[in-house]
Structure 1
Amino acid sequence: MHRGGSSTRQRPACSPRSVSRASCGAICAAAPIVSKTDDAHLVERQLDSAEVYQGHFLRVVKDRVALPDGGTASREFIRHPGAVMVVPLLDDGRLLMERQYRYPMGRVMLEFPAGKLDAGEAPLVCGQRELLEETGYTAAEWAYAGVLHNAIAYSDEGIHIFFARGLSQGTQKLDDGEFLELVTHTSAELDQLAARGELTDAKSLIGLLWLQRWQQGAWSLDWQPA
């Protein structure tokens, strides 16, 4: 598992040479599932921190931390201002989405509208702004689903998930240098795209999960007027 850094202390690991398959299975089967409120045995404590890189809105930092067992380790990760994703529901049940070239991936990706939070901006305000800028739509009702932490090993980014319905079409207000194509899909179509490995954007997959669970009545959304 990638931890965003390295430890200065080697700790023993379970391996075929140290624990037999049978005994490991017995230990795992016998271990109870415990919900702990005291996480002191897991928490890492910051000793010092240094900024490695400052970009337009991303910062890379390298921290030295104290481990629960007394060892030390380094943790390199990205500081992110946070973002918002919107799942826009059209009146006919289709979902409004975007196709956009993502340079790090080297290809066009299918995703729900999203964007980063400006300094001091409330998540709902950001979602309303991004929906209008990227799609030209406004929404009469909004519902907050929760927050997604999409890269916990190397970033503190949190993406707030909103649902929007009662859509009215207006005019896009794309940023300079921003190019995207609007498309629509049904939930069933997105499910098939995900099954075929054609929908791989993490935030959009979580948005699809939320949508399906809400449609099934398993998860609730508290709709509020804009």
Structure 2
Amino acid sequence: MDDAHLREEGTNSELLFKGNFLHAKRDTVRLPDGKSATREYVIHPGAVVVVPLLDDGRVVLERQYRYPIGRVMTEFPAGKLDAGEDPLVCGQRELLEETGYSAREWAHAGAMHLAVAYSTEIIHIYFARGLSLGDRQLDHGEFLDVTTATPDQLFAWCRDGTVSDAKTLTCTLWLQNVLSGAWALDWQSPALPAGA
């Protein structure tokens, strides 16, 4: 498919903010019709979200206060990629640090772009099974509760608004399709992360 008639070309870039985690930019672009416009967006290092499946059919979730929206959110475990980090290694690390679980098998489900109009963020989706529980290794300043739910409970929470986190909603769609057999996963048994 030829998308040339839709492409925008950057002609200038200005760094608006450089933080420890996020950066903000304002670019000038040439539109397909030759006119100019500006695009403000956030540079994000990328992240991983994990759908941890317990042997009894429940999923592992977290409850964490999210300051920007001022409420506790129910989410699948997730975390940002360190510079140059393999997404699977990040998923293994985050699952262990935040929940205490390590997994025997992993499957890459796909990736999602969270806010395409104003962010470069991409989140890699992994499923994990064959879980074994150890000690959590929370980062300094990280406070969260680990909980579980049946798929039906999670589906109901998505429907009634208890779960409104976009990555968790997307992963729940994946979960429904995997459980129904509509979408297959390619399970692998990678090496366990250090400390597992």
- Equivalent positions of 1:1-226 (< 5 A) are 37-226=1-190
Name the % identity: 62
- CA drift of 1:113 comes to 0.3
- CA–CA distance in 2 between the matches of 1:112 and 1:141? 17
Give how far 1:79 is off.
Answer: 0.3
1:174 and 1:134 mapped to 2: Cα distance?
Answer: 6
Query: Structure 1: how far apart are the matches of 2:189 and 2:87?
Result: 15
Structure with greater contact order relative to length (CA < 8 Å, sep ≥ 6): 2
Matched with 2:194 is: none
Residues 49-104 of structure 1: CA deviation (Å, up to 9, x unaligned) = 01000001100000000000111100000000000000000000000000000000
What are the ranges of 5 or more consecutive residues in structure 1 without an aligned counterpart?
1-36
Off by >4 Å, runs of 4+ in structure 1: none
Deviations 1:187-206 (A, max 9, x none): 11111111111110000011
How many residue pairs get aligned? The number is 190
**TM-score w.r.t. structure 1 length?**
0.83
Alpha-carbon separation, structure 2, partners of 1:133 and 1:81? 19
Structure 2 counterpart SS, 1:174: coil
Tell me which structure has the larger Cα radius of gyration. 1
Query: Secondary structure of 2:68's match?
Result: coil
